[in-house]
Structure 1
Amino acid sequence: MARIRKIGAAGALSLLLLVTACGQKNEGASESGGVKPEEKPKEPYTMRILAAGVKAEEFDERFRDTLKKKFPHITVEYYAGAKGSTINDLIASGNTPDLIRTDVPTLVSGYLDLGLGFDLNEFVKNAKYDLNRFNKVFIDEILDVGRTGALYGLPVPPYFPQALYYNKDLFDKFGVAYPKDGMTWDELYELAKKMTRVDGGVIYRGFSSHPTNLLRDNPFSLPILDPKADKLADPARWTTLFNNLKRFYEIPNNTIESTAALDSQAFAKGNVALMTNQHSVYLVLPPELNWDLVSYPIMEGAPKLMPQRGPAYWSITGTSKHKEDAFEMIMTMLSDELQMEDSRKGITTTLSSTEVQKALGKGHPVYSKKNMDAINAYPPIPYTQKRQAGLTDIPGVTQQNLLSQSFVDVAQGKTDVNTALRDLDEKLKAELAKQKSK
């Protein structure tokens, strides 16, 4: 009996080992008991990205490492649109990009007219991608360009909201209280008069501006060329805008510079107390300048919204053979994580997320010490209405240059507002005639 019990124990141990072994999966085994096939590595290829005007260093810093980790099989070939790598150059050389950083002013001429347009709506639908994560005005504007409901791009930071900058040292020097968020243009005018003075033989200007973007990105979203007719849009409202601005340059000793561009640079010299300009990481102020900023002034009769220049957009070319990956790349570059990083660097977000907005400049050595809440004091104003389909248009840069020069002529006393606007209307009509004759 003892022998039989010994054999039984050994058999039980063998059975236990067998059951245990069967309960464990072999490495690489599938649920059906077979060996799980190894995932086939993705075929490597090159993705071409064109972001005209954006230096390679900026692209690398913001996006390249993230894209390399997420898409290891893809080599990103980046073009900044310099001579030899413009969109036309790349098309001619057979290197048409897969992704393009487009913008609204050139979307038609530099994208759609070249036969590169691609509607992202189907990809958005298939990916269940939430467009509501973006500020609505930026999605509305890109949808309006094609007039067909096509979504030709997704908004990439930054956009360019207006702000009021001030020189703290000058306010301290003359014992005047700093400007505050929520000021009106009339309050700003009184402050500019107080800060314009001559001291020790030095002229201190109370106010300067960037007249070009101030008038173009105005608090009424007023277009220059009428959206429905071949004429200047709403001359009465342009009269209001011109009169509001010109009074600052009529303050004794606050003479405008010879050009709009030079007036936009005057604040950086240190003898100007106040400046209206866009917030932009590309706006470089001298490190020795002790500046801060407050919200852009509110104009009577205008909505309490932030005048702004809209963002660029990531667009896929219709010729790309890698559209799915290109869309994945767009979603990655516009993710909450990367936009939070951007915001902390001072790059204004295209998202509606208040968390990302409030992080603006928090990680930047200069902006972290400034009143960056001023940038988000008001929501961005809706985009400027576009020309109706079928009407001849004038390039946006041409329009804004004509507008800006008209105002500079007024501010320099060469003409009055009514005459300047009548002349501007005639110049716009002459440009339309040129466009129609092409």
Structure 2
Amino acid sequence: MKRKISTTLLCGVAIIALSACGAKKEEAGGTAQTPKAPEVKKDPFTLSVFGFGSAQDNEFDQRYREVLERKYPHITFKYIPQSSGNSLAEMVARGETPDLIRTDIPNLKNNYLDLQLGSDLNALVKKNNYDLTRFNDQFIKELVEAGRTGALYGLPYPPYFPMVLTYNKGLFDKFGVAYPKDGMSWDDVYEIAKKMSRTDGANVFRGFSANIMAMLRDNPYGYPILDPSADQLFDLEKWKPLFLNFKRFYEIPGNKIEATRPAEINDAFKKGNVAMQVNQYSQYLPIPQEIDWDIVSYPSLEGAPKRMVWRGPFYWSISSTSKHKDDAFQVIMTMVSDEVQLADAKKGMLPTVASKSVQGAFAQERPDLQKKNMKALFYFQEWSPYSPKRKAGLADVPTVVQQDSMAQTFHDFASGKVDLNTGLRQLDEKLKQELAKDKSK
């Protein structure tokens, strides 16, 4: 009996020893598997997203929904397009403030900050160790300066909007005039506009049209409309040469400016009887398929710096009232990731990140654009500076109001309704009235 017990004990000791040896061997060899922590199941919730244009555009679904639902299966994404009766201000008034909001510089004050929706992302950037240097630094700096408090109110997503000259190849072929080229001056464009402004039978052909609002706001000097530190129009004398340069195009016989600003900006070139239009390069400004068009670089003023003139991108921002700020920031990081921006770039959207590989993928899936002179978008290596914003603590006017007021001033000047000095004086008075409104709030 004693012998049997001793044998059993020895066997037990041997088994323990072997087990220990085996454990040490696995530990030494690195093959032991640490038990995985059970996945924490996240409670489902709905994240509302406000932005883009109409529901018919379906842009949120096309660009983001699939990747977001795959990565965040616990989140239901409710996309809310802006529509009549469904503006952001109206939604806030109804107590239906969305979690994520599309913002931009022109509307940052009136359609985000004035609605008390501003949410500083700096703490979330730090918490997630997020690298802001992956973006074009101008996009980040301009937004912070526009916010005037040092806050970061969003992350930029594609596209941004460089200025270009678009021309109707069919009309140039029809009249035997050489196509415009990259690197032209405004004087060069003016001479071409004179040649292309003509009457052919009953048809009137215009040589030139333009988005004057964008050309004045996004000027190569970075002039602001409202003075950054004084309650007045910025340096009237500096604006005069720009107004006069653009006005001469509408003095060409047969090239009268359209009766309204929207008609000049949005409709003139689409009619097919305008030879050239200067405007932003934008996916949101489609040209009819029947027009055989191409682009060249934005013209330069004689003596001015030769720069790429641009309008910045939109930004994804978080509402101050959102109960899901951490999750919302994760969603934004996905929407502006290299993966998503690479897909955007291939479709012809200019990326907001500095990644050369993402930038190099531009229009790879757009054979129609590959036939165009897309290098015109990158012709100038130097970018124009963004315009300085109002000093903190001063009354301000929404950029969208500033730019529309200046564009209307030019339209009245080009239409012969006012002379230049009167128009600029009236613009100065308009800005002061808007400042007074802001001070009275």
TM-score (norm 1): 0.87
1:52 touches 1:82 (CA, 8 Å); kept in 2? no
Residue 393 of structure 1: how far off its partner (Å): 2.2
Residue 171 of structure 1: how far off its partner (Å): 1.2
Letter in 2 for 1:46: T
Match of 2:158 in 1: 157
Letter in 2 for 1:335: S
Q: Which consecutive residues of structure 1, in runs of 5 or more, have no partner in the other structure?
A: 1-14
* Alignment partners' CA distance in 2, 1:349 and 1:215: 24
The question of 1:47 aligning with 2:47 is answered yes
Match of 2:377 in 1: 375
Match of 2:133 in 1: 132
Structure 1 residue runs of 4 or more that deviate by more than 4 Å after TM superposition: 22-25, 30-33
Pick one of 401, 405, 412 that aligns with 2:408.
405
Pick one of 376, 387, 390 that aligns with 1:387.
390
* Alignment partners' CA distance in 1, 2:387 and 2:54: 24
Match of 1:8 in 2: none
Residue 247 of structure 1: how far off its partner (Å): 0.9
Residue 92 of structure 1: how far off its partner (Å): 4.5
Query: For 1:216-250, what per-residue CA distance to the aligned partner results, in whole angstroms no more than 9, with x for missing partners?
Result: 22222222221221221111111010011011111
* Alignment partners' CA distance in 1, 2:410 and 2:95: 45
> Kindly, what percent of the aligned residue pairs are identical?
55
Match of 1:430 in 2: 433
Distance 1:311 1:32, change over 3 A: closer
* Alignment partners' CA distance in 2, 1:401 and 1:148: 25
Match of 1:429, SS?
helix
Match of 2:106, SS?
helix
Match of 1:366, SS?
helix
Distance 1:41 1:168, change over 3 A: same
1:137 touches 1:381 (CA, 8 Å); kept in 2? no
* Alignment partners' CA distance in 2, 1:64 and 1:431: 40
Q: CA RMSD in A?
A: 2.7
Residue 165 of structure 1: how far off its partner (Å): 0.3
1:317-336 map, 5 Å: 317-336=319-338
Distance 1:205 1:146, change over 3 A: closer
Match of 2:10 in 1: none
Distance 1:248 1:46, change over 3 A: same
* Alignment partners' CA distance in 2, 1:395 and 1:175: 46
Residue 104 of structure 1: how far off its partner (Å): 2.0
User: Which deviates the most, 98-107 or 278-287?
Assistant: 98-107
Match of 2:350, SS?
coil
Match of 1:432, SS?
helix
* Alignment partners' CA distance in 2, 1:323 and 1:436: 32
Match of 1:216 in 2: 217
Match of 1:351 in 2: 353
Work out the number of aligned pairs and report it.
418
Letter in 2 for 1:281: Q
Residue 401 of structure 1: how far off its partner (Å): 2.5
1:297-308 map, 5 Å: 297-308=299-310
Distance 1:153 1:375, change over 3 A: same
User: Which deviates the most, 101-110 or 267-276?
Assistant: 101-110
Distance 1:375 1:435, change over 3 A: same
Residue 319 of structure 1: how far off its partner (Å): 2.9
Letter in 2 for 1:366: D
2:217 touches 2:403 (CA, 8 Å); kept in 1? yes
1:115-194 map, 5 Å: 115-194=116-195
Query: For 1:383-423, what per-residue CA distance to the aligned partner results, in whole angstroms no more than 9, with x for missing partners?
Result: 22112222222233332222122212222223322232223
Residue 287 of structure 1: how far off its partner (Å): 0.5
Query: For 1:109-143, what per-residue CA distance to the aligned partner results, in whole angstroms no more than 9, with x for missing partners?
Result: 33334333222222222333221111111100111
1:39-78 map, 5 Å: 39-51=39-51, 53=53, 55=55, 57-78=58-79
Residue 99 of structure 1: how far off its partner (Å): 1.7
Query: For 1:335-366, what per-residue CA distance to the aligned partner results, in whole angstroms no more than 9, with x for missing partners?
Result: 11211211222222112234333433332253
User: Which deviates the most, 44-53 or 156-165?
Assistant: 44-53
Match of 1:272, SS?
coil
1:161 touches 1:380 (CA, 8 Å); kept in 2? no
Residue 285 of structure 1: how far off its partner (Å): 1.1
Distance 1:115 1:420, change over 3 A: closer
* Alignment partners' CA distance in 2, 1:434 and 1:325: 37
Distance 1:52 1:189, change over 3 A: same
* Alignment partners' CA distance in 2, 1:165 and 1:328: 39
1:137 touches 1:380 (CA, 8 Å); kept in 2? no
Match of 1:3 in 2: none
User: Which deviates the most, 46-55 or 339-348?
Assistant: 46-55
Distance 1:370 1:322, change over 3 A: same
Distance 1:399 1:318, change over 3 A: closer
* Alignment partners' CA distance in 2, 1:435 and 1:333: 34
Distance 1:134 1:163, change over 3 A: same
Match of 1:296 in 2: 298
* Alignment partners' CA distance in 1, 2:233 and 2:78: 43
* Alignment partners' CA distance in 1, 2:301 and 2:307: 10
2:157 touches 2:313 (CA, 8 Å); kept in 1? yes
2:148 touches 2:391 (CA, 8 Å); kept in 1? no
Distance 1:66 1:418, change over 3 A: same
2:68 touches 2:331 (CA, 8 Å); kept in 1? yes
* Alignment partners' CA distance in 1, 2:37 and 2:355: 43
Match of 1:277 in 2: 279
* Alignment partners' CA distance in 1, 2:85 and 2:246: 41
